[in-house]
Amino acid sequence: MPGAGVIVNVVAVLVGTGIGLLFGSMIAERFRLIAFSAIGLSTMVIGASMSIGGLSDLGRSAVGDYSGLVLVGALVLGSVTGEAIRIEHYLERFGHWLQSVVAKRPSLSPGKSTQPGERGHNLVEGFVTASLLFCVGAMAVLGSLQDGMGDPQLLYLKSLLDGIASVALATTLGVGVGLSVIPVIVVQGGIALGASFLQPFMTPAVIAAIEMSGGALIFCIGLDLAGIKRLPVGNMLPAIVFAAVAAGVLA
């Protein structure tokens, strides 16, 4: 059934978040911190591997030696575009609105808040971080396309990975992780619904460009999760579109 993969993905994130919220308070802070660092490191490795693989695949296409320029150009133009339209700003505004909705349910956010506003910050951070992590990347795009065409297998695999990640994220960032199902439904559901229209444009070069640019953004998310450096990944999202269009034109 078209859309089954998106539904399973949403359920996996919600179940994973529920498990994280339920058992998060039982985990000592030092164990949560080291686990979060490990998640950040693994996310960086996955992102780097994805981006290098996409760059290599794009280099073997008609794009050839221009693949590196496509990556740099897409990231720069995409970041400037995202900054101009303030994508991350509006993502955070939406997160703050969601925070106000659940403000009367403080028990939804795990852990101990020792500073004013810490819990609200975690909700917004959890929503933005999880939304970017679950919606960015070739697996989200290709899985949703295949799901729309009646093959949900790739999204089933993504659901398993997202469910595990949401358990770990929810123990520290709280209920905001579960609220990331809203953009998952919008983004992946929208791609699945438009699969018949988008399918002809998904050439190997375009897929490689999506993997290359999406992997770079996932690497940035890993930097943030590991506490190394926070980059405005939300504002960089248009880079995926620029990379896909450039690959489609050059190939």
DSSP structure string for the chain = -TTHHHHHHHHHHHHHHHHHHHHHTTS-HHHHHHHHHHHHHHHHHHHHHHHHHHHHHHHTSTTGGGHHHHHHHHHHHHHHHHHHHTHHHHHHHHHHHHHHHTTT-GGGS-S---STTHHHHHHHHHHHHHHHHHHSSHHHHHHHHHHHTT--HHHHHHHHHHHHHHHHHHHHHGGGGGGGHHHHHHHHHHHHHTHHHHGGG--HHHHHHHHHHHHHHHHHHHHHHTTS----HHHHTHHHHHHHHHHHHH-
pLDDT in the model for residue 117:
38
Q: Read off the pTM.
A: 0.79
Report whether 98 contacts 179 (CB < 8 A): yes
pLDDT tens digits in sequence order for the chain, 251 residues long: 678 999 999 999 999 999 999 987 787 778 877 877 888 898 899 889 989 999 999 999 989 889 999 999 999 999 999 999 998 888 888 888 877 776 655 555 444 443 333 344 578 888 888 988 898 776 788 789 889 988 898 899 899 989 988 988 888 888 889 999 999 999 999 999 998 788 788 889 998 998 899 889 989 988 988 889 888 888 998 999 999 999 999 97
Q: To 5 degrees, how large is the angle CA 127–CA 244–CA 42?
A: 45
pLDDT in the model for residue 104:
59
The span from the CA of 117 to the CA of 70, in Å, is 41
pLDDT in the model for residue 245:
94
The span from the CA of 191 to the CA of 120, in Å, is 31
